[in-house]
Structure 1
Amino acid sequence: MLQNDPTSPVSPLAAYPPLPPAESRTRAPEFYGFVAWSSSSLLFVLYLLWALLPDSYLLRLGISWYPNREWAVLLPAYSIVLVLLTYFTYFALALAHTPAFSHISTITDSRAHLPPPDVPSPYLAHAHPNAIPEMYDIPIGLVNRVIYGPRTPPAELPPAGRPH
């Protein structure tokens, strides 16, 4: 092995221009794509001929039986309805599996890292100098108390009929 060889451990530079990659892929997807494109195009042309040609032309071509022409309109209409119903179904399933606003899963999940219940106030550990407290998720109740203050009982409403 020479010292200036590009694969030498003492020469980390790659060869320029880079070598072409080894051809290892198959061309089968290209053939499948061509067959799918050509067969769908042929079926579409046959559909248009069936839907638009008069009966006399079809009989001259030797076609003696074909489905009723109303299916030329019904098939696209049913297809559009089927697509719309599919969207509606997926939307309804998503709504059905969405938890209510009052459900606990809208606030926390199974991955929440909460402090163990026997640890007395782990959130105050940051108050000590040079302390690096352990990282925990903050419960929503504590967040609400810090932002909105402690819970106070609601003020009594004045009796009805008296001005306040």
Structure 2
Amino acid sequence: MPEHTPAPTPSRAVYGFVLYLCCYSALALYFVWAIIPDSFLHSLGLTYWPQKYWAIAIPIHVGLAIALFGAVIYPAINLTMTPPLGDLRTVTDPHAVSLQDKMVPEGGIPPVSDIPISQVCRHLYMDPN
């Protein structure tokens, strides 16, 4: 079974080069269709082409769709996946490291760990006296 890796291989290089050529050929064909007058294309025997309106309308519609997705839809998807403020997942997660299990010598520097929310609230909001 072949290994799935993003490393370059000869077959990927060939596919990439063919895709590169196809994209530039399609771009050249698009510019030929958009810029050359219909009368010249008809004289060559090329009669079935979309209206020139679509040469401007399609890029505008694609750009608007990308902008709408980036400004409205993508943030809305992220907001729907965010847990509510009262959920415990906003405070801790399964990967949290607790300091309670580790012994710290007197005057020593404790290892990196997560501070429990109760300790944070005591330090911030309770009377220090």
TM score, norm. by length of structure 2: 0.68
- List gaps (5 residues or longer) in structure 2: 1-7, 107-112
Decide which moves more: 140-149 or 27-36: 140-149
Q: Which structure ranks higher in relative contact order (CA pairs < 8 Å, sequence separation ≥ 6)?
A: 2
Code of the aligned partner of 1:96:
T
The aligned counterpart of 1:18 is none
The aligned counterpart of 2:90 is 106
Deviation at 1:50, TM superposition (A): 0.9
- List gaps (5 residues or longer) in structure 1: 1-24, 116-121, 130-135, 151-164
2:116 to 115, 135, 139: 139
The aligned counterpart of 2:126 is 149
1:40 to 8, 23, 28: 23
1:60 to 40, 43, 68: 43
Q: Which has the higher helix share?
A: 2
RMSD value, Cα: 3.4
Deviation at 1:114, TM superposition (A): 6.4
Alignment of 1:95 onto 2:90: no
TM score, norm. by length of structure 1: 0.56
Task: Give identity over the alignment, percent.
Answer: 32
Structure 1 pair 101–70 and aligned structure 2 pair: CA distance change class (3 A): same
Q: Deviations over 1:53-105 (max 9, x none)?
A: 11110011110111111110111011101211222322211122223334322
Between the aligned partners of 2:18 and 2:97, the Cα distance in structure 1 is 54
Code of the aligned partner of 2:85:
F
